[in-house]
């Protein structure tokens, strides 16, 4: 596998500052706390997890839109955490982002032509006629170029966002919940468009979602995040067929299946309680305060290990890495 992106031990802590005159750090939001992963050229790698688990922070660190606290991000073999401003500007041509809310990410006072010309202008490149080509590539019409973002539907606006992201022929696109704000009925169309463009342009996607069902058909591999850490990574089919971390099992048991009979007879694995604060995460395994296995299946001695020892993300015999001392593949779908 040729890695386009290699992330090693990425940490992002947001300091919490206090004091009126003399500001000082009183703690930190441990948004991302030591994650490692690779993206192969041409693949779609999805990161899935509940709100606040650190998905967008990870995405922004990968593109270096924010500075990581520590760790390295390599893009095409180059350590971009060490890149200077000029180099970073060049690299930005190769790495683009598609946002959840296309309305917020598009300048309302610019026409679509203006929006799509902007990346060329920023990088001092000739645009000559590419706006119409880009519109066609994303399934819009040449006459849409003179319209403003508010004149489009949500799905069309996301197509404009996608056109802007592919304008400079990037290698990597980070898609941060690109369909979450869209009507369920048009999600599939936008996902299909992303897939077609990937094939046509050889794109690599880092795809972020809080719902496993969204990534099932688009992702080659999936990483499940919980409270700033990765708890399981696997090829998508493997993750759905043999989920091994109790959190992944709970997420998969909540994904609806189309067959109503199977849906009725399926066992739900429920996770109780709220996500603990990332300022002061639980010791040992961060999932232990909500883990159904910890609560219902383990002996006192086994539980103690969950309290004391953070589980590493390693393959414990399930064929893919899981961060659970007692991981065990279960078939749920």
Ligand X SMILES: Nc1ncnc2c1ncn2[C@@H]1O[C@H](COP(=O)(O)OP(=O)(O)OP(=O)(O)O)[C@@H](O)[C@H]1O
- Using CB under 6 A as the criterion, which residues of the chain lie in contact with ligand SF4 when the complex forms? 245-246, 285, 287-288, 291, 293-294, 306, 311, 324-326
The closest residue (CB) to Mg ion is 56
Interaction of residue 55 with ligand X, rule CB under 6 A: yes
Beta strands in the chain (DSSP E): 3-18, 24-40, 44-48, 70-75, 78-79, 95-98, 172-176, 204-209, 221-226, 229-235, 314-315, 321-322
Token pair recorded at residue 26:
């009183």
Q: Rounded to the nearest whole angstrom, what is the least distance from the CB of residue 219 to Mg ion in the complex?
A: 17
CB 269 within 8 A of CB 246: yes
Q: Which of 304, 324, 305, 302 is nearest to 313 (CA)?
A: 324
The set of residues, in sequence order, having a beta carbon less than 8 Å from that of 175 and lying 6+ positions away, is 97, 98, 194, 205, 206, 207, 208
Output 164 or 242, the one with its CB closest to ligand SF4.
242
Residue 230 exposure: Cα atoms within 13 Å on the Cβ side:
23
Q: Rounded to the nearest whole angstrom, what is the least distance from the CB of residue 50 to ligand X in the complex?
A: 7
Output 57 or 105, the one with its CB closest to ligand X.
57
Output 53 or 165, the one with its CB closest to ligand SF4.
53
Binding-site partner at residue 240 among ligand X, Mg ion, ligand SF4, none, CB < 5 to 8 Å by type? none
Q: Rounded to the nearest whole angstrom, what is the least distance from the CB of residue 280 to ligand SF4 in the complex?
A: 17
Q: Rounded to the nearest whole angstrom, what is the least distance from the CB of residue 60 to ligand X in the complex?
A: 8
How do 70-75 and 3-18 pair as beta strands?
A: antiparallel
Residue 249, φ and ψ in degrees, nearest 5: -60, -40
Token pair recorded at residue 153:
């539907």
Interaction of residue 210 with ligand X, rule CB under 6 A: yes
User: Which one among 35, 44, 56, 80 touches ligand X, defined by CB under 6 A?
Assistant: 56
CB 49 within 8 A of CB 210: yes
Interaction of residue 57 with ligand X, rule CB under 6 A: yes
Q: Rounded to the nearest whole angstrom, what is the least distance from the CB of residue 127 to ligand SF4 in the complex?
A: 51
270: which strand partners?
none
Q: Rounded to the nearest whole angstrom, what is the least distance from the CB of residue 143 to ligand X in the complex?
A: 35
Interaction of residue 14 with ligand X, rule CB under 6 A: yes
Binding-site partner at residue 293 among ligand X, Mg ion, ligand SF4, none, CB < 5 to 8 Å by type? ligand SF4
Q: How many residues bind ligand X (CB under 6 A)?
A: 13
Q: What is d(CA 294, CA 300) in angstroms, rounded to the nearest whole number?
A: 9
**Residues in contact with ligand X by the rule CB under 6 A:** 14, 29, 31, 49, 51-57, 210, 278
């Amino acid at each position: 596998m040729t890695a386009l992106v290699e992330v090693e031990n990425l940490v992002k802590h947001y300091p919490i500052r206090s004091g009126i005159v003399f500001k000082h750090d009183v703690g930190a939001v441990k948004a991302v706390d030591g994650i490692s992963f690779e993206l192969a050229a041409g693949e779609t790698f999805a990161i899935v997890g509940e709100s606040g688990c650190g998905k967008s922070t990870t995405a922004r660190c990968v593109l270096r839109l924010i500075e990581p606290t520590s760790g390295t991000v390599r893009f095409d073999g180059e350590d971009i955490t060490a890149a200077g401003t000029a180099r970073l500007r060049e690299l930005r041509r190769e790495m683009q982002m598609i946002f959840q809310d296309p309305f917020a990410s598009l300048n309302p006072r610019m026409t679509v032509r203006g929006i799509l010309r902007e990346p060329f202008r920023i990088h001092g490149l000739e645009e000559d006629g590419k706006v119409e080509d880009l519109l066609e590539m994303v399934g819009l019409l040449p006459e849409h170029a003179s319209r403003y973002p508010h004149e489009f539907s949500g799905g069309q606006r996301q197509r404009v966002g996608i056109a802007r992201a592919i304008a400079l022929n990037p290698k990597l696109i980070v898609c941060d919940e690109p369909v979450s704000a869209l009507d369920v009925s048009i999600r599939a169309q936008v996902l299909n468009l992303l897939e077609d463009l990937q094939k046509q342009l050889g794109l690599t996607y880092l795809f972020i979602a809080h719902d496993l069902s969204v990534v099932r058909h688009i992702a080659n591999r999936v990483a499940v995040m919980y409270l700033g850490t990765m708890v399981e990574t696997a090829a998508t089919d493997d993750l759905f067929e043999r989920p091994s971390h109790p959190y992944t099992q709970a997420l998969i048991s909540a994904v609806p299946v189309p067959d109503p009979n199977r849906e009725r007879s399926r066992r739900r694995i429920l996770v109780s309680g709220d996500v603990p604060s990332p300022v002061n995460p639980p010791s040992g395994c961060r999932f232990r305060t909500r883990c159904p296995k910890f609560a219902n299946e383990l002996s006192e001695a086994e539980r103690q290990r969950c309290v004391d020892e953070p589980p590493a993300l390693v393959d414990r015999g399930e064929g893919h890495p899981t961060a659970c001392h007692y991981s065990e593949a279960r078939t749920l779908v």
